[in-house]
Amino acid sequence: MDSVDLEALKSSVRWQAEGHRVLLVTVVRTWGSSPRPEGAMLAVRDDGLVVGSVSGGCIEDDIIDRVRREGIRSDRPESVKYGISAEEAHRFGLPCGGTIELVTEPLSAKSGIAELLAAVEAGRLVSRRLDMASGVATLGPAAVTDGLAFEAGTLTTIHGPRYRMLVIGAGQLSKYLCQISVGLGFQVTVCDPREEYTETWDIPGVTMVRTMPDDTVLAMRLDERCAVIALTHDPKLDDLALMEALHTPAFYVGALGSRRNNQARRERLKEFDVTDAELARLHGPVGIYIGSRTPPEIAISILAEVIAAKNHVSLPDILQVEGAKAAREIAAGEAACPISPEGEAQPAPTTPAVHS
């Protein structure tokens, strides 16, 4: 689930424990363009304090105003639509023709929000069935392919990690990449059998394993909602993970390295019965080209490409590292004074870039 929605759950539980009434608002249907997807949540405290988002601002403002004026008096969930007319769409900042349906749920003991949060924080993927007539909610197991359903007086929402990520290597770059990935809602596992790296690992919310990378890939049983990123620069580790990961339906498989190293890696993988079709799925060098050189910048570059793949967005070659650098070299005539992405002349680097 989205980390923003997780914060809404956490705040709801905390506010209830402090004695506040809380209204949980969930996006259940959208028509036309919508700034937030189905399942997005907003928690509103009885004094108007909010966490989360269901629109981008204007609908939240209307809900907050109602809570402050009227309080949270209802005991039953209700559905409400915004943006049905052109006037309302304009008032609430929805794109032309956009309509959004929400379920507003006054939380109580029968809502089971504390139990839901505990399940999510334990890494479980669960469904929550809310009976609109009684306000009673029950939890059950869910599959990664399940989605939100709102019919016959019941709202079913899915909570927990929907996507998994396996990172090979526990170096400095991995720390930045994993921190951001957790915030993006991934269930992250780091694999590194080297004790000198794992002994200093201190990123909360990430599972660390010291098994060999190929064994880890097999044990995780990767599916189409998994990403694998190899970051060690050590062929003995990266190649083991890649050769197994490319046999799986993982939506993203990538490896850090220069263009020359990437070509050498592809040649090595062919020797391990990796087919040309499987090699075509390998992202390498990983990331989109943003001129990144520091570990935090490289992490952002890599995750931008991962999110594009997750959302089925096809990036043109000019945005990918290999294509962008090749185009830059052609445009600059491989001169000693290359042109930066911002269009300003820059002196040639005296040391090789980390993300080359």
H-only helix segments in 80-212? 86-91, 113-121, 172-183, 195-198
- Say whether pLDDT at 245 is over 90: yes
Q: Which of 92-101, 168-177, 209-218, 295-304 has the lowest mean pLDDT?
A: 92-101
pLDDT given at position 214: 95
On whether residue 327 sits in a domain, the answer given is yes
Give the model's pLDDT for residue 87. 64
Predicted confidence band at 348 (pLDDT cuts at 50, 70, 90)? very low
Residues 123 and 249 in one domain: no
Backbone phi, then psi, for 213, in 5-degree steps?
A: -55, -40
Q: Determine, yes or no, domain membership for 339.
A: no
Q: At what angle do helices 295-310 and 172-183 cross, to 10 degrees?
A: 40
Which of 159, 178, 208 corresponds to the end of one domain?
159
123 and 190 fall within a common domain: no
Give helix 259-270 / helix 235-245 axis angle, nearest 10°.
60
Range name among 199-213, 224-238, 302-316, 322-336 with the lowest pLDDT average: 322-336
Looking at the domain assignment, is residue 340 inside a domain? no
> Which residues are 339's β-sheet partners?
345
Q: Please, which contacts does 332-340 make with residues 24 or more away whose CB atoms are closer than 8 Å?
A: 340/291
For residues 93-120, give the mean pLDDT. Answer: 87
Domain boundaries, position 251: 163-332
For residues 139 and 232, state if they share a domain.
no
Q: What is the pLDDT of residue 356?
A: 43
Mean pLDDT of the chain: 86
Task: Pick the closest to residue 200 from 173, 171, 176 (CA basis).
Answer: 171
pLDDT (average), residues 198-225: 91
Is the pLDDT confidence value at 282 over 70? Answer: yes
Task: Answer yes or no: is 338 within a domain.
Answer: no
Cα angle 153, 155, 157; round to 5: 170
169 with 130, same domain: the answer is no
Q: In angstroms, how far is CA 164 from the centroid of its own chain? A: 9
Range from 53-62, 83-92, 123-132, 267-276 carrying the lowest mean pLDDT? 83-92
Residue-wise burial string across 291-327, b where 16 or more C-beta atoms lie within 10 A, e elsewhere = ebeebebbbbbbbbbbebbbeeeeeeeeebbbebbee
Does residue 173 sit in the same domain as residue 300? Answer: yes
In which band, very low, low, confident or very high, does the pLDDT at 72 lie, cut at 50, 70 and 90? very high
Assess whether 284 and 261 both reside in one domain.
yes
Q: Please report whether residue 349 resides in a domain.
A: no
In which residue are the tokens 């290597």 written? 169
Local structure of 213: helix, strand or coil:
helix
Looking at the fold, whether 300 and 208 belong to one and the same domain comes out as yes
Mean pLDDT, residues 329-336 taken together: 65
Say yes or no: 186 and 122 in one domain: no
**103: phi then psi, degrees, rounded to nearest 5:** -110, 120
pLDDT at 16 over 80: yes
CATH of the domain at 289: 3.40.50.720
Q: Which residues on neighbouring strands pair with residue 104, listed in sequence order?
A: 25, 78
In a domain, 194, yes or no: yes
Across 162-166, 201-205, 206-210, 243-247, least confident range? 201-205
Please give the pLDDT value at position 101: 93
d(CA 196, CA 306): 28
Other Cβ atoms less than 10 A from the Cβ of 340: the count is: 10
Contacts of residue 222, defined as CB under 8 A and 6 or more positions apart, other chains included, come to 164, 166, 228, 245, 248, 249, 250
Same domain as 139, residue 29: yes
With bands split at pLDDT 50, 70 and 90, how would you rate the model's confidence at 36?
confident
Domain shared by 100 and 176, yes or no: no
Statement to judge: residues 196 and 150 lie in one domain: no
Band (82; pLDDT cuts 50, 70, 90): confident
What was the pLDDT predicted at 177? 97
Claim to verify: residue 138 and residue 192 sit in the same structural domain? no
Which domain-ending residue is among 131, 159, 187? Answer: 159
DSSP states along 278-335: HHTTEE-S-SB-S---SHHHHHHHHHHHHHHHHTTPPPPGGGBHHHHHHHHHHHHTT-
Q: What pLDDT score was predicted for residue 273?
A: 84
Mean pLDDT across 173-182: 94
Q: Which of 109, 139, 159 is the last residue of a domain?
A: 159
Higher confidence at residue 327 or residue 192? 192
Let me know: does 262 contact 255? Beta carbons within 8 Å: yes
* Integer CA distances (angstroms), 246 to 91, 265, 320, in order: 49, 13, 20
Give the mean model confidence (pLDDT) for residues 287-306.
93
Write down the pTM of the prediction. Answer: 0.67
> What band does 296 get if pLDDT is binned at 50, 70 and 90?
very high
- Total domains in the fold of the chain: 2
Task: Grade residue 34 by pLDDT with cuts at 50, 70 and 90.
Answer: low
pLDDT in tens, 43-62: 999 999 999 988 866 788 89
Residue 57 covered by a domain: yes
Residue 108, both tokens = 């109580």
pLDDT of 335 strictly over 60 = no
In a domain, 240, yes or no: yes
